[in-house]
Structure 1
Amino acid sequence: MDDTEVWSAVDRRRRAIVDLLTGLAPDEWDTPSLCDGWMVRDVAAHLTMPLLTMRQLALLAIRYPGRTNRLIRDGSIDLARRHDPGQLVHRLDLLVGRHRAFPGLTCRESLIDAVGHTFDMAIPLGREIAVPAGEVAEAADRLVSYRGRGNAKVFRSLPLAKFRLTATDHAWRTGDGAPVTGTMTDLFLLLTGRTVRIGQLHGAGADDLRRLAAV
């Protein structure tokens, strides 16, 4: 995908997220997400961060000093406390068509966020949201390109180096080692440190991967 196509994919994911959140009951906003320490409302608030001005970001950084992960984690919880569900949905809707990445990042990080956090909310809520495998693969390619450095540090690190991951629903593979197969969604979740669907993986290396991930 070129950048224009990536932004179009981001817009599709953002619209789907707005649709998901619009239909939630009040108590569902407090459902624990796949992100440690975050409820659904916190994930939604995190996704609105591109709307913050540089001054607002600076104030959050002062309030939550230290590593980037702390700013992201605690800053998102802070935003969730200051906006009710209706306001969060409205802010997310404002992002559709807004093609400007978070400072220092690219449209592909926006896609990783939009795809990944869709799953982080939808899976615990028991909602099925079909994300095209090609869009998930584009986000996965960006994750693989980090090679465990830089932006990869915001994710839990799983022992994937000794495995060859191959998608069953898209022409995508990465790694060199014992074969592990799964849907593009299953593999993307692994790359972002989520083990919620690790039981659905197959291949000669799947059991070893599950054992190592459980340590």
Structure 2
Amino acid sequence: MPSGPTSSRPTAAVVWRIVHNERQSLISDLESLTPEQWAQPSLCPGWDIHDVVAHLVDTAKTTRLAFVRQMVAAKFSFDGANARGIIRERAASPEATLAEFRRIRQATKTPPAALATRLVEAIVHGEDIRRPLGLVHRYPRESTEEALIYQLKTGISMGGGKERADGFRLQASDSGFEHGSGPAVLGSALALLMAVSGRPVDRRDFSGEGAAAFVQKLNQ
């Protein structure tokens, strides 16, 4: 079970404040991108930077009822619903998509899921964009841990990463967070979050007796 300093869930007000701050920070980073950078592949397979921003616009607008309707239209395929959302919100130019993201940055709409998913969206997709562009951003540690906890208790089929962590004891090197049992894998909370979320992993981000096996499992 997860352990460490994160002993209580943040309130909705705290989560939304962090999400809004992260949206604004990402907008600031996006404002200086060149057309070539907008077209660069993100860490999401098949999505470029523009696609990820369109996805963030779509999820920021999605209500619980709209989510159900979108899933029905996509025959209950998460990937299909996401693809439709990108088509719906990707404007003719990156500037127009960014303008819409800026317009809805304070929205508090959410699909029918735990509020922690909003932290996962903000942090993981923020890195999906920033890492390929060589941009570095510091996320609140408690929020990163909260997103990590959610991903570790959620199956891959639901967008989480529970199965990726099975058989290892994950330890955040920048806090007291721990999860699971087995050979130890140490890494920052952000590195662990990105890894269990299915993003490319770098062996240099992890240490401990289970690090090599953990990275090998994720790269299979």
Place the TM-score, normalised by the shorter chain, in its bin.
0.7 to 0.9
Does structure 2 conserve the Cα–Cα contact (< 8 Å) formed by 1:190 and 1:198? Answer: no
* Counterpart mapping for 1:1-215 below 5 A: 1-49=10-58, 50-51=60-61, 58=69, 62=73, 64-72=74-82, 74-79=83-88, 81-102=90-111, 104-146=112-154, 148=155, 153-154=158-159, 159-215=164-220
CA displacement 1:57-115 (0-9 Å, x = unmatched): 857964x545122211x22441354342122112212233222213x124321111011
CA displacement 1:24-71 (0-9 Å, x = unmatched): 111111110110110000000000113257679857964x54512221
CA displacement 1:123-166 (0-9 Å, x = unmatched): 001111111222111111121232x26xx533577632110111
Does structure 2 conserve the Cα–Cα contact (< 8 Å) formed by 1:166 and 1:180? Answer: yes
Q: Which runs of 5+ in 2 are unaligned?
A: 1-9
**Measured at CA, do residues 80 and 25 of structure 1 come closer, stay the same or move farther in structure 2, by a change above 3 Å?**
farther
The one of the two structures with greater contact order (alpha-carbon pairs below 8 A, sep at least 6) is: 2
TM-score (norm 2): 0.84
Cα distance in 2 between the residues matched to 1:167 and 1:35: 24
Cα RMSD, aligned residues only:
2.4
TM-score (norm 1): 0.86
Cα distance in 2 between the residues matched to 1:196 and 1:141: 19
**Percentage of pairs with the same residue:** 24
